[in-house]
Amino acid sequence: MRKNIVAGNWKMNTTVAEGVELAREVNAAVEKASELKCEVIVGVPFTHLTAVSQVLTAVKLSAENCADHTSGAYTGEVSAPMVASTGAQYVILGHSERREYYHETNAMLKTKVDLALEAGLKVIFCCGESLAQRKDGTYFDVIKAELVESLFHLSAEQMSNIVIAYEPIWAIGTGETATSDQAEEIHAFIRQLIADKYGKQVADDTTILYGGSCKPSNAPELFAKPDIDGGLIGGASLKADSFMGIVTAF
């Protein structure tokens, strides 16, 4: 059966020293908490990976991106094998901020997904629609294309290393959360797409996270939905107590 996950996405925040301190706090709180019903991950900037990796014992580590090449003359880029060599187990790919500001396409993300899996990383793959796409009713098609074009070439076995995060762009960092019913509708749609392609077992085993202004106050209602298996948390992951308020929401 699939596992529940709460993953932090720190984005471009904290110095290395601040990040190590935050990671220490989260790790200590997770170690202390008894019977947590989810795996906990922190997604941190590239610069922090090695140092943060050394303080984590009960929390998994993720990068927020990786390159679409393995090595070579790509000044400033960081490859999947480099990320894996820090001790990270996960990489977040396809975040809407990367799609929008760094022009990442479904085709480019397909390559990144392949390279990440090849390097032994698990992928937290983000999908989600803009406000305009929600309003004009094309959002099901947008989400389907993101999944089909970047993930559906994978084998069923490879899919076991993919976590999907549904993040409606209009809810990210805006304070506006999708209602639990709106989120559940999309999560059920995503699970059905996976079932149609890979069968019911793979669909049932795939963890699907919600992201977008998730906080301790709304996490319990979201996580109670049958197809919402946890969250990808931005703003609220930057303080150990608010992040832990979400981790303990199950």
What count of residues does the chain have? Answer: 250
Marked catalytic residue, from 48, 64, 95, 129: 95
Using Cβ positions, the residue closest to ligand PGA within the complex turns out to be 234
Q: Where are the beta strands (DSSP E) in 44-193?
A: 60-63, 90-93, 122-127, 162-166
Distance CA 93, CA 67 (A): 10
Check binding of 151 to ligand PGA (CB under 6 A): no
Check binding of 228 to ligand PGA (CB under 6 A): no
Between 45 and 235, CB nearer to ligand PGA: 235
Distance CA 126, CA 121 (A): 15
Residues ≥6 apart with Cβ < 8 Å to 154: 113, 117, 162
Task: Map residues 183-212 to x or -, x wherever contact with ligand PGA holds by CB under 6 A.
Answer: ----------------------------xx
Check binding of 213 to ligand PGA (CB under 6 A): yes
DSSP-assigned beta bridge partners for residue 245: none
Marked catalytic residue, from 97, 146, 167, 184: 167
The least CB distance from residue 57 to ligand PGA, in Å, is: 24
User: At which residue do the structure tokens 């984590």 appear?
Assistant: 56
User: Is 167 marked active-site?
Assistant: yes
Q: List binders of ligand PGA among 2-61 (CB under 6 A).
A: 9
37: tokens are 């019903």
Between 49 and 235, CB nearer to ligand PGA: 235
Q: Helices 180-198 and 139-150: crossing angle, nearest 10°?
A: 40
- Label the pairing between strands 5-9 and 60-63: unpaired
The least CB distance from residue 220 to ligand PGA, in Å, is: 16
Q: List binders of ligand PGA among 152-171 (CB under 6 A).
A: 167
Q: Give the interface with ligand PGA as residue ranges (CB under 6 A).
A: 9, 167, 172-173, 211-214, 232-236
Catalytic residue IDs: 95, 167
